[in-house]
Amino acid sequence: MKDPYTILGVSRDATDEDIKKAYRTLARKYHPDNFNDNPAATELANEKMQEINEAYEVLGDPQKKSNYDQFGSAEGPGANGMNFEDIFGGAGGFSGGFGDIFEDIF
C-alpha cells in the first residue's frame, strides 16, 4: 500500500478533522457515480476510491494510525515478518537471536 498520508494529501501532523475532511473531499471527487457516462473512467474511479478507503481505514482509526506512524504498518509490530521470538529467541528462553550473544559472553 502507498503512504496513506500521500493518498489523502495530508501531512503527518494532520488532525483527525483534517484527515476526515480530506477523505470526504476525495470521496466526493472520485465517487464512481460521477463517471456513469464513461465506463473506463468509472473503473479508474473505483480503483481510486478503493485506495482512498484503504488510506482512511488506516488514518481514521487511532490505533492503526499509531501503528503506521511507529512501525510503517497498520498491523503494528510483527507485520514485517519479525516478531519477539525472531529477535530474542523462543518463548522458552534465549535460543538464537540475542541468546547466542549471551551464551558467548558467559
**pTM for this model (two decimals):** 0.68
6-59 confidence digits (pLDDT tens) = 999 999 999 999 999 999 999 999 998 888 888 899 999 999 999 999 999 999
Residues in the chain: 106
Q: Which of 65, 79, 63, 70 is nearest to 14 (CA)?
A: 65
Buried b (16+ CB within 10 A) or exposed e, 1-30: eeebbebbebeeebeeeebbebbeebeeeb
DSSP string spanning 47-59?
Answer: HHHHHHHHHHHHH
